[in-house]
Amino acid sequence: NAGVTQTPKFQVLKTGQSMTLQCAQDMNHEYMSWYRQDPGMGLRLIHYSVGAGITDQGEVPNGYNVSRSTTEDFPLRLLSAAPSQTSVYFCASSSLGDEQYFGPGTRLTVT
Amino acid sequence: ELKVEQNPLFLSMQEGKNYTIYCNYSTTSDRLYWYRQDPGKSLESLFVLLSNGAVKQEGRLMASLDTKARLSTLHITAAVHDLSATYFCAVGTGNQFYFGTGTSLTVIP
């Protein structure tokens, strides 16, 4: 079991560029989610999904899109990167209501 | 919007001492989670508390939940250096999760 995997580990973008952060899990979990972690603010939920074809917004969804075409994959798209999106991004998965398993994170810098 | 407050934010304690981290939340929920994060690493699940009065223990850590007071505690007994990390509580409501800002714990020999 690889658990939750994320790519890339590090990324530098220029303002206005777009990119996709990849997330995959091999535990057959229904629930997948994306968080951003900023100093002094804990983790904030961006988007989540309770199954293939179903996504919903979290606390801070603006500037991000997601899709869930399979149970395993849950990519996060930055449409037009802004310096305010500089952060560490974590993907997580779980059975519904259960503890979440987190990926290793992607450190994103937008200049 | 649900608010989750942890205190203290920073905690420096000597090995062998006991201490408690507090997690207060603003609206009703019956799911409370504790996670640990080492510097530069991901989050690791410690405890899942699903009902009022739930108590769970693992090694030197014990977590409890009082849903009526909207309060969870993480008690550290006889701290050791290996417990140095940042500890987060998270509250689940529906399909959303709200995290506290974390407690950075440093255990000093």
pLDDT tens digits, one per residue of A60-107: 999 999 999 999 999 999 999 999 999 999 999 999 888 999 999 999
B25 Cβ contact partners less than 8 Å away, ≥ 6 residues apart: B2, B3, B4, B5, B32, B70, B71, B72, B91, B98
Give strand pairing partners of A22: A7
Portion of chain B with pLDDT greater than 70, in percent: 100
Which segment of A46-50, A99-103, B51-55, B99-103 scores lowest on mean pLDDT? B51-55
Could you say which of B31, B41, B99 has the minimum Cβ distance to residue A43? B99
A43 vs B95: CB contact, 8 Å cut-off? Answer: no
pLDDT digits 0-9 by tens, B32-64: 999 999 999 999 999 999 988 899 999 999 999
Q: What CA–CA distance (Å, rounded) separates A44 from B46?
A: 19
Q: What CA–CA distance (Å, rounded) separates B86 from A96?
A: 25
φ/ψ of B39, rounded to 5, equals: -55, 130
Tell me how close the Cα of A58 comes to any Cα of chain B, in angstroms. Answer: 7
Give DSSP secondary structure letters for B36-88. EE-TTS-EEEEEEE-STT-EEEETTEEEEEETTTTEEEEEE-S--GGG-EEEE
Once rounded to an integer, what is the mean pLDDT over residues B18-36?
Answer: 93
User: Which pLDDT score is estimated for B30?
Assistant: 73
Mutate which: B42, B45, B89, vs A, most A CBs within 10 A: B42
AA letter at A13: L
What does each C-alpha distance from A103 to A34, A35, B1, B7, B29 come to in angstroms? Answer: 10, 11, 26, 26, 26
Tell me how close the Cα of B29 comes to any Cα of chain A, in angstroms. Answer: 12
User: How many CB atoms neighbour CB B27 within 10 A?
Assistant: 11
Tokens of A27: 């535990």
User: Which pLDDT score is estimated for B23?
Assistant: 97
Provide the CB-side half-sphere exposure for B25 (13 A, CA). 28
User: Which pLDDT score is estimated for A70?
Assistant: 97
Q: What CA–CA distance (Å, rounded) separates B109 from B14?
A: 6
User: Which pLDDT score is estimated for A45?
Assistant: 96
Find where tokens 């079991």 sit: A1
Residue of chain A nearest B30, judged by CA positions: A97
pLDDT band at A39 (very low <50, low <70, confident <90, very high): confident
